């Protein structure tokens, strides 16, 4: 519900001003894929590489935001959608601040990823699909979540008893089962340079 007394205030310094100061374009790199597909690992490695290039970044991680911003949410479909909505709004603010935002979330539903894409400007949302097969994700299982889900101890687990809607037109598709982390980072850096995000 919107309150008619709440008005958006346009500030003197624009997103363009901030981008020029930082000497790179702002955008959201949205890492999506199954648990264990390598989202946080690749995003973290990319952030390190971008830091070396003096690119101002921030990494939003699925587990981390559930310690604060989204700690009141469960894993029902409705709460998952609210989780992504909140993260999308935070990412939008960070893009307005001129940052390159790396967001690592399973984000299983195409509608929620579309919602975030529509929050930012044209070309500012880069969907990165970690198309890693579930059998490889299960062999990694760093938190033991697949084992618990298979045993019925975790409900609504993506890929087991909750759907994952694969992206159909992601800007970048990675398979960490076939490619190394460094190869994935190189592919991402190449994309960012080719699309004028970084020089």
Question: Which active-site residues does the annotation give?
Answer: 107
Secondary structure of 80-124 as H, E, C letters: HHHHHHHHHHHHHHHHHCCCEEEEECCCCCHHHHHHHHHHCCCCC
State the distance between the two ends of the chain, measured CA to CA, in whole angstroms: 42
CA angle 42, 47, 52 (to 5 degrees): 130
Strands (E), the chain: 27-32, 57-61, 100-104, 125-130, 172-174
């Amino acid at each position: 519900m919107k309150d008619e007394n709440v008005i958006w205030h346009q500030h003197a310094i624009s997103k363009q001003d901030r981008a020029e100061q930082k000497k790179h374009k702002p955008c959201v790199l949205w890492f999506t894929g199954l648990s264990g597909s390598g989202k946080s690992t690749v995003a973290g490695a990319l952030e390190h590489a971008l830091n070396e290039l003096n690119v101002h970044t921030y990494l939003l991680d699925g587990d981390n935001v559930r310690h604060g911003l989204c700690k009141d949410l469960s894993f029902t479909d409705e709460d998952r959608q609210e989780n992504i909505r909140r993260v999308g709004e935070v990412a939008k603010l960070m893009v307005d601040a001129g940052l390159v935002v790396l967001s690592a979330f399973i984000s299983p539903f195409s509608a929620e990823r579309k919602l975030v894409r529509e929050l930012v400007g044209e070309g500012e949302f880069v969907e990165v699909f970690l198309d890693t097969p579930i059998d490889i994700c299960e062999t990694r299982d760093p938190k033991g979540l697949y084992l618990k889900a298979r045993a019925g101890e975790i409900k609504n687990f993506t890929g087991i008893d909750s759907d994952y809607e694969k992206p159909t037109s992601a800007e970048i598709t990675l398979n960490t089962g076939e490619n190394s982390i460094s190869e994935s980072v190189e592919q991402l850096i190449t994309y960012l340079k080719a699309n004028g995000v970084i020089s």
